[in-house]
């Protein structure tokens, strides 16, 4: 074997962590046959013998002996006089096998061959990595922070695979330094060109669901099932759980004594507030439970429009809505119903949309984002608190309050 660089190539690739011996031999033969085809026009009359363990190979060209001056295809035929230089007793019609020395292919062909070999190996590795991580989609994975950029953190796992954690897949309170270990769920794996793009997420509901599988033994064992998870990352989450065994309290098992079991999950999620509720197929009861910690007096459902009118005592309304409207928003996502909150004992109230001729639609929309869509729901709140919870200026809120009061006092 004359070409040392090529021998070194075999030594590099035979220890590759993603490639087995049979596959390596197939790739090597494919690469060499491609080179021979370019050099001689055909590779069909060549035998390639590869020993990747030693980093060695032999190439033999098979030709038929013909009379001198009758060679039509020099790749497949050899003149009698040339054949007899190899072996004196060759005769016309016999097969001649002659070893092709790599150095005779030319320096440019050898460099191209090596580059093609590297490319094929990388392509194989990328495909293997893609399949490996595609099977891990939806599963928790741990990797180390390698590089921090403005919009993405680049992670490396123990095998040197690159995983991306974009800014919008992080929890708002996340703060990582180079070398930190990061846990997240493999959200998506795509091939961009020939290179796999692996995206990790810590903001996905799937991450919280998988944390329950890891941290709660009854969930891992299948005694408790996680029916649905909804989140506002870093703020609040609701998890509906069910048990196949009537003797097991699914909520109690998940939360633990004084929150001992769920504490590790809360800490992992940057102190995200997690409500665990009992799942039920009864939609009215599910809406009632989803609005926890508020105590609901009654629920009226419209299944066609998927809306729910929920009636509560006035002191329970703020609990149902929650800070920044998080509680009512998550309850809606969990149940699939658009939830409207009404106060018991308050007969006269007006929808904010009725004031669209006096109040801009975007202002009404801002109040709706925090669960306030009636006049009294706004008037019962402190102006300073409304300024904090919405993107509205104090002057705008005061003007809205003036308009609403004028209407209700008429």
The answer on pLDDT for 5 being more than 60 is no
128: pLDDT confidence band, cut at 50, 70 and 90?
confident
Distance between first and last Cα of the chain: 102
CATH of domain 136-203: 2.40.50.140
Query: What proportion of the chain, given as a percentage, has pLDDT over 70?
Result: 90
Can you tell me the distance from the alpha carbon of 80 to that of 97, in angstroms, rounded to the nearest whole number?
14
Angle, nearest 10°, between helix axes 326-335 and 314-321? 70
0.75 surpassed by pTM: no
Q: Where in the chain is the domain with CATH 3.30.1480.10?
A: 4-124
What mean pLDDT value characterizes the chain?
85
Weakest-pLDDT range from 74-88, 127-141, 146-160, 250-264: 74-88
66: pLDDT confidence band, cut at 50, 70 and 90?
confident
Condensed to tens digits (0 to 9), the pLDDT of residues 19-62 reads: 666 667 777 778 888 888 887 888 888 888 777 666 567 788 89
pLDDT of 2: 46
Q: Which CATH superfamily is domain 215-279 in?
A: K homology (KH) domain (3.30.300.20)
pLDDT of 39: 79
Instruction: Quote the Cα angle for 325-211-295, to 5°.
Output: 35
Residue by residue, DSSP assigns 66-94 as E-TT--S-TTTEEEHHHHHHH-TT--TT-
Q: Where in the chain is the domain with CATH 3.30.300.20?
A: 215-279
Angle, nearest 10°, between helix axes 107-134 and 21-40? 140
The partner residues of 230 in beta bridges, in order of sequence, read 238
Condensed to tens digits (0 to 9), the pLDDT of residues 315-348 reads: 888 889 888 889 999 999 999 999 988 887 655 6
Phi/psi for 69 (5° steps) reads: 85, 0
Q: Which CATH superfamily is domain 4-124 in?
A: NusA, N-terminal domain (3.30.1480.10)
Can you tell me the distance from the alpha carbon of 251 to that of 183, in angstroms, rounded to the nearest whole number?
25
Can you tell me the distance from the alpha carbon of 183 to that of 175, in angstroms, rounded to the nearest whole number?
13
Mean pLDDT of 208-222: 93
C-alpha neighbours within 13 Å on the C-beta side of residue 318:
10
- What burial letters (b/e) apply to 322-356, b meaning 16+ CB within 10 Å? bebbbbbbbbbbbbebebbbbbeeeeeeeebeebe
pLDDT of 4: 42
pLDDT of 345: 65
């Amino acid at each position: 074997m004359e070409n040392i660089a090529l021998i070194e190539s075999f030594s590099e690739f035979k220890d590759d962590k993603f490639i087995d011996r049979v596959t390596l031999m197939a790739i090597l033969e494919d690469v060499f046959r491609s080179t021979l085809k370019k050099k001689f026009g055909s590779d069909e009359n060549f035998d390639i013998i590869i020993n990747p363990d030693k980093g060695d190979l032999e190439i033999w060209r098979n030709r038929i002996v013909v009379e001198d001056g009758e060679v039509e295809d020099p790749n497949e035929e050899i003149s009698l006089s040339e054949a007899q230089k190899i072996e004196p007793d060759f005769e016309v019609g016999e097969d001649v096998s002659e070893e092709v020395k790599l150095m005779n292919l030319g320096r440019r062909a050898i460099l191209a061959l090596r580059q093609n070999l590297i490319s094929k190996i990388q392509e194989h590795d990328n495909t293997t990595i893609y399949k490996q991580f595609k099977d891990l989609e939806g599963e928790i994975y741990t990797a180390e922070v390698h590089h921090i950029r403005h919009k993405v953190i680049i992670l490396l796992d123990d095998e040197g695979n690159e995983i991306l954690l974009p800014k919008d897949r992080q929890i708002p309170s996340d703060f990582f330094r180079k070398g930190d270990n990061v846990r997240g769920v493999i959200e998506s794996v795509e091939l961009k060109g020939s290179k796999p793009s692996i995206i990790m997420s810590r903001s996905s509901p799937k991450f919280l669901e998988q944390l329950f599988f890891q941290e709660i033994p009854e969930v891992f064992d299948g005694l408790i099932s996680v029916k649905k998870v909804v989140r506002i990352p870093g703020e609040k989450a609701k998890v509906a759980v069910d048990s196949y065994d009537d003797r097991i309290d699914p909520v109690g098992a998940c939360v633990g004594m004084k929150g001992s079991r769920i504490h590790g999950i809360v800490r992992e999620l940057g102190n995200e507030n997690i409500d665990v509720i009992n799942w039920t197929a009864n939609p009215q009861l599910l809406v009632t439970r989803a609005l926890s910690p508020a105590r609901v007096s009654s629920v009226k459902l419209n299944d066609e429009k998927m809306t729910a009118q929920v009636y509560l005592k006035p002191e329970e309304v703020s609990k149902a809505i929650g800070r920044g409207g998080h509680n009512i928003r998550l309850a809606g996502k969990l149940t699939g119903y658009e939830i409207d909150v009404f106060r018991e004992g308050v007969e006269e109230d007006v929808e904010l949309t009725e004031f669209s001729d006096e109040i801009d639609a975007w202002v009404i929309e801002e109040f709706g984002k925090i669960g306030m869509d009636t006049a009294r729901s706004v008037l019962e709140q402190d102006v300073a608190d409304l300024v904090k919870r919405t993107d509205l200026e104090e002057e705008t809120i005061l003007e809205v309050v003036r308009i609403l009061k004028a209407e209700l006092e008429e």
